[in-house]
Amino acid sequence: MCGIVAITSSNRRGDLGILLTEALKKLEYRGYDSVGIAVVDQGNLYVAKNVGTVESVAKSENFASLSGCVGIGHTRWATHGAPSKKNSHPHTDCAKKIAVVHNGIIENYSELKNFLLSRGHVFISDTDTEVVPHLIEEFKRAGLDTYSAFRKAVSMLRGTFAIVAIDIDGGRKLLFTRKVSPLVVGIGSDFVLVSSDIVSILPYTDRVVVLNDDEVGYAEPGRVFIETVGGRSVDVASRVMKVDYGVEDFDKGPYEHYMIKEIREQPYTLNQTLSGLISSRDEVEKSLKLLESADSIYIVGAGSSYYASLLGSLYFRYLGFRAQALVSSEATPYLRGVRPGDVVVVVSQSGETIDTLLAMRESAKRGARVVAIVNNPLSTIARESDAYVYMKSGPEICVAATKTFTSQVLVLSYLGLAMTRDSHRIEASLRALRRLPEITASMISSTENAARKVAKKISTEHSVYYLGRAFGYPISAEAALKMKEVAYVHAEAYPAGESKHGPIALVASGFPVVFTIVGELDELIEGNIEEMKARGAYVITYAPSDRITSTVERNSDLVIPLPQVLLEVSLVTYVIPHQLLAYYTSIERGYNPDRPRNLAKTVTVF
């Protein structure tokens, strides 16, 4: 996690500190424990950093006063060492000539630190990162130039990392390397930017080079040099790509939070996803061909992407295909059963989640073909897959996934549907899916008041159950994840029938239980609603109008009607009222839903 940004410019920039601040604001979703920048100006290194948000630290540490030609910035999600000023990046060497920012984990840092301590280096922080500037310093002392010292230092690191360094003696060079954690180089007319994410590059240039694992190099205005750690130089010109996102996609617009903006965008984003699926025939066909040839299908993801995988795998099975969903961080033992001939579908909004990436690599090693579903076609997962589907949901800034979850489910449903090659069924479903924009818009407006009302009740509770059967269970699981993430209410999802096998013990008078009825394969749910009511639960039921029977009415304290739609449409949309509920509960409890504590948008550490 953590966000890195760096710039080298041919002119001395009086606004260097401001520029780094603006770029860091766009990376804050990657971590918000602390913030820091370092610049080289007229032969001196200046470092400013502290605990807090980009805005508050930039103000308190006066980032705006920093000028120069070259600078680096960092927003931190703490791994080694508590969030504190001394542990904030950038970190420096003993002589305060070299500054380093890092995303990832250096596994062998203790061993390297002991070596450096024995060589007389003095450490200030508790981080793994601090070994890097000292290693560079050590190799410079031995006579190497800045780049050679950097290269040698990074060759000694084990773990996952994206690193950028600057050195007073290195002129305008930004030194960089990457192993697993992402790093992108943006090339401008008289500047070069290096960042963890193109979001902070796009306002300045749309020409980018995505670094591959085990590449190392440097950038200075007018020149980008990249080689592999093995010493093979890279033809940079052939790797330059043009990105077609608009900068405006990253704005919050009139909304108070990105979360509500992204929830409300779903009529549009689902339309984008569906149009992309229909118009990008070749890419989608490639994925379909692989899926159709599969002996077994595994669908792998983390967090919300896992729940989308679960929903997708259930739908595949419903259609008669063999499919199994796996949590990526737990996938390894299950992947032992993967054989050549199997297909692994990798679901990841960012395309950079390390657990998912490793599960993907493990599958490929075992001979499986990989189909990825991503929201970033430049991501590592997209680039390493055999075929990928680009969701086209636009940038999702809120840490909690909303619009990308519904797009993931739409892609999986579309792929499942297309695999049936049943033209009548496909045509009928597509007719219904084309109405997603209007159905989604009306679902948002018709359930928003209920979300506000239920939020008032749940905001005073410690715990809530989310229950559903069959398709209703993964939707409940995603709903509960949203509630935990943004409102910090303990929310547990259970298959409704399974709740009798233990969880019901917790239910006492007034305990909130949220049911989601989807309308297929969940006929027995009414009994589960009755059981909860009989124990005094406060029952909230989300159900399509044709499933609001007298039993449901009688046993629910509140019934929220959902539109009665085709299964494929309900799979995509029935989570949306729950997204609204989590959002309003977070607001009711006085939190910022965009920045849940302890979380980062993209998890690039194990």
Binding site for ligand M6R (CB under 6 A): 302-305, 348-350, 353, 356, 399-401, 481, 485, 599, 602-603
**Residue given tokens 């509920």 in the structure block:** 581
Q: How far is the CB of 47 from ligand M6R (least distance, A)?
A: 31
8 Å CB contact between 374 and 390: yes
Tell the smallest beta-carbon distance from residue 352 to ligand M6R (Å).
Answer: 7
Cα 507 from chain centre: 34
The Cα–Cα gap between 287 and 337 comes to 22
What type of residue is 431?
A: R
User: Residue 70: which H helix or E strand, with range?
Assistant: strand 68-76
Q: Which is nearer to ligand M6R, 132 or 308 (CB)?
A: 308
Closest by alpha carbon to 200, among 51, 399, 7? 7
C-beta closer to ligand M6R: residue 236 or 605: 605
Question: Which residue's CB is nearer to ligand M6R, number 70 or number 389?
Answer: 389
d(CA 492, CA 463): 8
Q: Outline where DSSP puts E strands in 243-357.
A: 297-301, 323-327, 343-348
Nearest distance in Å: CB 198, ligand M6R: 15
Cβ distance to ligand M6R smaller for residue 41 or 352: 352
- Dihedrals phi, psi of 40, to nearest 5 degrees: -105, 125
Distances in whole angstroms, Cα of residue 558 to Cα of each of 215, 285, 548: 57, 44, 11
HSE-CB for 493 with a 13 A CA cutoff: 20
Cβ-based nearer residue to ligand M6R, 335 or 603? 603
- The CA dihedral of 487, 306, 77, 165, to the nearest 10 degrees, is -150
Min CB(31)–ligand M6R separation in Å: 13
The residue annotated as part of the active site, out of 97, 392, 533, 601, is 601
At its nearest, how many Å lie between ligand M6R and the CB of residue 303?
2
- Which tokens sit at 503? 């969880």
Contact (CB, 8 A) for 252 and 261? yes
Q: Which is nearer to ligand M6R, 480 or 560 (by Cβ)? A: 480
Select 1 or 343, whichever has its Cβ closest to ligand M6R.
1
Burial class of residue 423 in the structure, from the number of CB atoms within 10 Å of its CB (0-12 exposed, 13-18 middle, 19+ buried): exposed
The CB-of-599 to ligand M6R minimum distance in angstroms stands at 6
The least distance separating ligand M6R from the CB of residue 252, rounded to whole angstroms, comes to 18
Marked catalytic residue, from 2, 113, 261, 403: 2
Is residue 151 within 8 Å of residue 169, measured between CB atoms?
no
For the CB of residue 347, give the shortest distance to ligand M6R in the complex, in Å.
7
Q: Is 173 a catalytic residue?
A: no
* DSSP-assigned letters across all residues of 209-273: EEPPTTEEEEEETTEEEEEETTS-B--HHHH-EE----GGGG--TT-S-HHHHHHHTHHHHHHHH
Query: Considering beta carbons, is residue 19 or 603 the nearer one to ligand M6R?
Result: 603
User: Is 601 annotated in the active site?
Assistant: yes
- By beta-carbon proximity to ligand M6R, the closer residue of 350 and 573 is 350
Handedness of CA 347, 353, 356, 359 (dihedral sign): positive
Minimum distance between the CB of residue 400 and ligand M6R, rounded to whole angstroms?
4
Q: Give 57's Cβ-side CA count (13 Å radius).
A: 29
Closest CB to ligand M6R: residue number: 303
Burial class (CB in 10 A: 0-12, 13-18, 19+), 534: exposed
Strands of the sheet containing 387-390, edge to edge, are 323-327, 297-301, 343-348, 369-374, 387-390
Query: Residue by residue, what is the 3-state secondary structure of 484-504?
Result: HHHHCCEEEEEEHHHHHHCHH
Supply the residues annotated as catalytic.
2, 601
